[in-house]
């Protein structure tokens, strides 16, 4: 499987191999961009409201004006899925600081954001979810505002490459003797089948949308969360 043929880029639905991005886009030059990945199951967007809220929070924090409101953004997601016939998988959204024909750290006072979306058909629950995966420990070297979901993912990419060299699937990040999270997921530890531990929110980890949904369902089930 791979990305669907049709994508959305800066105002137009086009074929992926026909999409064209300016080399001066701030997402490319400075990783000045935010992103979200929303799961799709039975044709429904999962936890979309949470993803939209986190996106707008990140955009405010990195000083990119939101290109759409939440309703317009949801309609864009749905149209992309319908055009590509995807009912299970995910939608990837990236909002950048845009392009203005030059490379300048500060950029113009008012940024004109760039927007890119693609979707991919994928079976969401497979062998890894059923059987578990191996992981290695990697020192957390990400920037200090990990609660923003930006495209600054070099440290995570290097962690996954190290995991592959070690013959395992993923990596668990640690800092100053404390676990932060996995390379691209929040971390959970189950003790005695009754207690569940997870890292507290703060600048050190991403406030996962799935993490919040799991917390709510664990509490409904009467399990202790620490």
Q: How many CB atoms lie within 10 A of CB 81?
A: 24
CA angle 110, 118, 207 (to 5 degrees): 70
The pairing of beta strand 6-9 with beta strand 12-15: antiparallel
Q: Are 144 and 203 in contact (CB under 8 A)?
A: yes
| Angle in degrees, 0-180, between the axes of helices 48-61 and 70-84, rounded to the nearest 10 | 120
Is the CB of residue 190 less than 8 Å from the CB of residue 196? yes
149: annotated active-site residue: yes
Catalytic residue (choose from 44, 109, 144, 149):
149
DSSP 150-172: BS--HHHHHHHHHHHHTTSSEEE
Match 């490379």 to its residue by tokens: 103
Positions annotated as catalytic residues are: 149
């Amino acid at each position: 499987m791979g990305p669907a043929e049709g994508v959305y880029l800066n105002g137009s639905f086009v074929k992926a191999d026909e999409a064209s991005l300016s080399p001066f886009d701030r997402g490319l030059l400075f990783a000045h961009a935010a992103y979200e990945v929303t799961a799709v199951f039975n044709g429904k967007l999962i936890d979309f409201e949470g993803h939209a809220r986190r996106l707008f929070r990140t955009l405010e924090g990195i000083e990119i004006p939101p290109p759409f409101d939440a309703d317009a953004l949801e309609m864009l997601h749905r149209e992309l899925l319908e055009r590509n016939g995807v009912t299970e998988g995910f939608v990837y959204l990236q909002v950048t600081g845009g392009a203005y024909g030059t490379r300048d750290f500060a950029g113009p006072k008012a940024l004109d954001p760039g927007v890119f979306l693609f979707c991919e058909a994928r079976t969401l629950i497979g062998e890894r979810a059923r059987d578990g995966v191996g992981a290695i420990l990697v020192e957390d070297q990400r920037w200090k505002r990990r609660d923003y979901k930006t495209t600054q993912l070099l440290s995570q990419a290097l962690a996954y490459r190290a995991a592959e060299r070690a013959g395992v699937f993923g990596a668990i990040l640690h800092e100053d003797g404390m676990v932060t999270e996995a390379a691209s997921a929040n971390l959970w530890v189950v003790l005695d089948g009754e207690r569940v531990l997870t890292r507290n929110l703060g600048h050190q980890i991403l406030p996962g949308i799935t993490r919040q949904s799991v917390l709510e369902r664990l509490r409904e089930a009467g399990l202790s969360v620490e």
